[in-house]
Amino acid sequence: MDKIQMKTPLVEMDGDEMTRILWQYIKDELLLPFIDLKTEYYDLGLKYRDETNDQVTVDAANANKKYGVAVKCATITPNAARVTEYNLKEMWKSPNGTIRAILDGTVFRAPIMVKGIVPYIPTWTKPITIARHAYGDVYKGVEMKCFEPGTAKLVFDGVNGSHQEEVIMNFTEAEGGVVQGMHNRCNSIRSFARSCFNYALATKQDIWFATKDTISKKYDHTFKDIFQDVYDTEYKERFEAAGITYFYTLIDDIVARVVRSEGGFIWACKNYDGDVMSDMLATAFGSLAMMTSVLVSPDGNFEYEAAHGTVQRHYYAHLEGKETSTNSVATIFAWSGALRKRGELDGIQELQDFADKLEKATIGTIESGYMTKDLALITKMEKEKVHQLNSLDFIKTIRENLAAML
Ligand code: NAP
Ligand code: MG
């Protein structure tokens, strides 16, 4: 069989620990035998980030902007323990944070559903995609401990001489209290809205959005207003033509509706809501290892990855020579997502078909009873039909099924 040819390279961002091991297995077993794989390789492993003073992360993000499509392996975000472990020059920032800041993107996370792994909410028969605004709010907040009586104020001085001032709290008790100031930018909210509406059109799904605008009449209400304005002026007609809808309600109302729903829509979340709800959804759908993630920028760049981390505990077991059973599904889907998008942009139908088959082979492998330990523990399949495989054998079994389809 001739290998599938590519035109434009994918931006390949390698990573750390167990996922770096899986990365190589996936390339060797599932990609290189079938595709004449073209990538521009960036090593985002912590050692090389440190060697380049994290320049490699910036270069990778810029390459993502240049070529449009990237696939990323999970990476370590260093903390104090990692600084010692890797003898780092500095506690480098989160690579995902750096890439998000350069692409100004929105993160979409969707569960991969397979028969036998039943969501904790059994009415969810279709995936729910979370779109998380990855900028501002409490993540860029400024806080103070004011542990004595006194007055906390919110002050704005406009460059043109305007002045706004509000008392946040007049603390009268001896032990005072705490205050917090946070912001968002109208531009970032508008980008967020466009990314959401574009993704809804691209995936033909309804989009739901919620804030607490009844309580937060200026802050949250601005999110509501900008979304409505962007929808009315730029997307309404295209949504109607595609037969999809934009639905806005309050955050507490939406939570209730999500639980009662059957899934199959995109839930746009403010930054904090998205942080919390994506972990809730990943667990409720069965496993963190079955959650894909794609960063979409408003000017149409895509970065695909797994939602989970580097699976450190499994990596240490692997280094000790112990057998691991780490789930590679989300990382495989990061590759298939990126290859499909590359195929779409370059008009290569074969590459899109390959991506579809790779996903089908992966799901089919699990549904026929061959899976990693995390899934074997939670599947509703009859015990005799379940075969728990190690990390590499799982990927090799997918390869057999894929080869049979090609
Ligand atoms: P993690 O790597 O997601 O793993 C947490 C636990 O979840 C694992 O110990 C494992 O549970 C289970 N798990 C996650 N993915 C799995 C998979 N593919 N197959 C089987 N089990 C899986 O999170 P972490 O241990 O908190 O973080 C490790 C490193 O990842 C950190 O340095 C962090 O900075 C980084 N991180 C990176 C990203 C990213 O690059 N996007 C995201 C999050 C975290 P058991 O141990 O019970 O088997
Ligand atoms: Mg979180």
* 354 in Cβ contact with 34 (< 8 Å): yes
Which domains, from first to last, does the chain contain? 1-117+291-406 (3.40.718.10), 118-140+192-285 (3.90.190), 142-181 (no CATH)
| Residue of the CA atom closest to atom 39 of ligand 1 | 74
State percent of the chain over pLDDT 90.
88
Instruction: Return d(Cα 252, Cα 250) in angstroms, integer.
Output: 6
| Residue of the CA atom closest to atom 40 of ligand 1 | 74
The pLDDT of residue 103 is: 87
Instruction: Return d(Cα 107, Cα 131) in angstroms, integer.
Output: 6
> For residue 283, what pLDDT band results from cuts at 50, 70 and 90?
confident
Task: Check residues 215 and 279 and name the one with the higher pLDDT.
Answer: 215
* 397 in Cβ contact with 30 (< 8 Å): no
Structure tokens at 117: 């792994």
State percent of the chain over pLDDT 70.
100
User: pLDDT tens for residues 323-360?
Assistant: 999 999 999 999 999 999 999 999 999 999 999 999 99
User: pLDDT tens for residues 17-65?
Assistant: 999 999 999 999 999 999 999 999 999 999 999 999 999 999 999 999 9
Query: Could you tell me which residues come within 8 angstroms of residue 324 by beta carbon, excluding any fewer than 6 positions away?
Result: 18, 314, 317, 318, 390, 391
Instruction: Return d(Cα 32, Cα 26) in angstroms, integer.
Output: 9
The pLDDT of residue 105 is: 79
At residue 373, does pLDDT exceed 90? yes
Pocket of ligand 1 (CB under 6 A): 74-77, 96, 288-289, 305, 308-313, 326-327, 374
Query: Could you tell me which residues come within 8 angstroms of residue 156 by beta carbon, excluding any fewer than 6 positions away?
Result: 162, 163, 164, 165
The pLDDT of residue 140 is: 84
- Which residues on neighbouring strands pair with residue 116, listed in sequence order? none
The pLDDT of residue 300 is: 84
At residue 1, does pLDDT exceed 80? no
Query: To test the ligand 1 pocket, which listed residue (310, 324, 327, 328) has its Cβ within 8 A of the most ligand atoms?
Result: 310
At residue 394, does pLDDT exceed 90? yes
Instruction: Return d(Cα 284, Cα 279) in angstroms, integer.
Output: 8
| Residue of the CA atom closest to atom 41 of ligand 1 | 74
> For residue 287, what pLDDT band results from cuts at 50, 70 and 90?
confident
User: pLDDT tens for residues 189-228?
Assistant: 999 999 999 999 989 999 999 999 999 999 999 999 999 9
